[in-house]
Chains A and B, each alone.
Chain A
Amino acid sequence: MECLTCTESLTAFMDGELSPAQAKKVESHFTQCTPCHDDYQSLLHTYQLVEQVGLLELDPNLWTRIHSEITDLSPSESTWLASLRSLFGIRWVPIAAGTLGVVFLSLFFVNQPNPEIQEAFDEYVREREQLELPRVRVSQNASSLELRIAYPNPFIVSDNRPQENPFKLE
């Protein structure tokens, strides 16, 4: 995960809005990245400060007042739609829609992977999976010996070390 993604997700993480997998990713990133960890600590501190502030008692008529002031300021929907129509005219709508359609279609075709490369990749994945078949996927509690067998040290010229405990009774 990149720092930018982590920073953007921090607030959602603090609010518990992320899925468990996303939350785990964010957490694992900021435990390893000092600047992001600092951001997290700073945000945590802010949350703690906010929690200390008590709830304010608001005037029950406050929202009515705010709403009426907003309504007075914003132009009505019919006004701006009418001005848009007068600016472009109704005959431009099909042309604009057609142009947008062409742009979307060309983007779709440009982003399509080359079928030859796609086929080669599928073939490669199949071969890799077959190669992995003899190698048993190692569990997270695997012993050193299991790890050594699954992921051998490529730098060893000749491995004369015993693979099993020589003192173990049959």
Chain B
Amino acid sequence: MPHLFALLILSLGLQANIVDSQSWERSRSVAEAQHEIVMLLIKGKAFDKVLRASQEIFSLRFPYNQEHLFVTEGQNLSGALYDHQQYELAQALLDQALRAVRSNNSKALLYKEKAYLCTKEGRDDEAMEYFEKAVELTKSGP
């Protein structure tokens, strides 16, 4: 009888793992496609639609260990918007990414990115405020 229970628990755990990996694969695939849409919108200069499209990415549920992809995406898309002189949009997109991540390390990286964009625009005081926030988050642990 105990063997049967152990087998049951093992099979349930395995099934949950498979469901999790399928759900993650689906989220990843949606994010991959949505990234291309956002890049096309930026390329086509349809900037008014960018935040709505990027929100589709950042509202996806990513596992904790894949959160760094949101950070990279935030850095990439805000960089592309910055290159198109859409400074306010770049900051707003980083705010979306900040709302999507949970770990302090990810938040710190995104705050540093906000600080970097601010300093490139000559907004040094604001940049310093964001960088101080990043330092605080890094100190308070992952």
Residues of A within 8 A of B (CB): 1, 25, 28-29, 31-32, 113-114, 117-118, 120-121, 124-125, 128, 137-140, 142, 144, 147-148, 150-157
Q: Which residue of chain B is the closest to A24 with respect to CB atoms?
A: B85
Write the chain A residue with the least CB distance to B112. A124
**Apart from A31-B48, A124-B116, what are 6 other A-B pairs with CB-CB below 8 Å?**
A32-B48, A117-B128, A121-B119, A147-B39, A154-B69, A155-B29
Contact A113 B128, CB 8 Å, known A120-B135, A154-B72, A155-B32? yes
Q: A124-B116, A155-B32, A156-B32 are in contact. Are A150 and B80 (CB under 8 A)?
A: yes
Given contacts A28-B88, A144-B43, A147-B42, contact A118 B128 (CB under 8 A): yes
Nearest Cβ on chain B to A3's Cβ, whole angstroms: 12
Contact residues of B between 27 and 60, Cβ < 8 Å to A: 28-29, 31-32, 35-36, 39-40, 42-43, 45, 47-48
**A31 (CB) vs chain B CBs: closest residue:** B48
Name 22 A/B residue pairs within 8 A (Cβ), A-sorted. Answer: A25-B88, A28-B88, A29-B88, A32-B47, A32-B48, A121-B119, A121-B128, A121-B131, A124-B116, A124-B131, A125-B119, A142-B83, A144-B39, A147-B43, A148-B39, A151-B39, A151-B76, A151-B80, A153-B36, A154-B35, A155-B28, A155-B69
A-B interface contact total, Cβ < 8 Å = 74
The 10 A-B pairs at the shortest CB distance, nearest first, are namely A155-B32, A154-B72, A151-B76, A155-B31, A121-B131, A153-B35, A138-B83, A151-B80, A154-B69, A113-B128
- State whether A152 touches B43 (Cβ < 8 A): no
Closest to A157 in B: B28
Chain B residue, CB-CB nearest to A125? B119
The 8 A CB mask of B72-93 against A (1 = contact, 0 = none) is: 1100110110011100100000
Closest to B30 in A: A155
Interface of B is mostly: helix
CA of A28 to CA of B35, assembled, Å: 24
Q: Are B32 and A153 in contact (CB under 8 A)?
A: yes
Most interface-central of A31, A32, A114 (chain B CB within 10 A): A32
Min distance, Cβ B113 to any Cβ of chain A, angstroms: 9
The answer to whether A138 and B28 have CB atoms under 8 Å apart is no
Residues on B with C-beta less than 8 A from A32 are 47-48
A77 to chain B, nearest CB (A): 39
User: Which A residues touch B36, using CB under 8 A?
Assistant: 153
Q: B127 at the A/B interface (Cβ < 8 Å)?
A: yes
Cβ of B95 under 8 Å from chain A:
no
Residues A154 and B76 in contact in the complex (CB < 8 Å), given A32-B48, A121-B115, A124-B131: yes
Neighbouring B residues of A153 by C-beta, 8 Å: 32, 35-36, 39
User: Could you tell me if A1 and B88 are in contact, using CB atoms closer than 8 angstroms?
Assistant: yes
